[in-house]
Amino acid sequence: MVQAPNRTSVYKVNPNHNKYTIGFAPELVPLILSGEKFLTYRFGNKYDYIQAGDKINVLNSKNNKIIGEAIVTNKFWKQFKDLPQDLPGHETYIDIEHHRKVLSGYYAYIGREIQDDDLFLVFEFKLIK
């Protein structure tokens, strides 16, 4: 497992991608392409329409280039406080505050820090090309 970097991308504007496209910070792209990362946590219900079995485009959010296609193999909800810090298939975190800092940067556009009771969609996916 790979630890989340101390410095990560910060998004002050909600990225709007085409339907069935999920964007990833550029620092995560190599982990996806190597197969080390196959889980993602998504704030709120923006991607709730995506179901297990759906094909999605995987996008580098820095340059808006599609880096691959994946099949969603699992989907479930978790509150932030219940997200694991060391789940296989996802980058790991030193502790919950490191996790909060990283996700608060990715979701800076909501205008506040991530809270313990915030809901996250968890998607497991398999890169197919």
Predicted local distance difference test score (pLDDT) of residue 109: 87
Predicted local distance difference test score (pLDDT) of residue 4: 63
Minimal CA–CA distance to 103: which of 16, 40, 49, 18? Answer: 40
Sequence letter at residue 106? Y
CB-CB contact of 60 with 68 (8 Å): no
Predicted local distance difference test score (pLDDT) of residue 129: 82
Q: How many CB atoms neighbour CB 69 within 10 A?
A: 16
Predicted local distance difference test score (pLDDT) of residue 81: 97
- Chosen CATH of 21-127 out of 3.10.400.10, 3.40.50.300, 2.30.29.30, 3.90.226.10: 3.10.400.10
Q: What is the pLDDT along the chain (129 residues), one digit of tens a residue?
A: 566 666 665 555 555 667 899 999 999 999 999 999 999 999 999 999 999 999 999 999 989 999 999 999 999 999 999 999 888 999 999 999 999 999 999 899 899 999 999 999 999 999 998
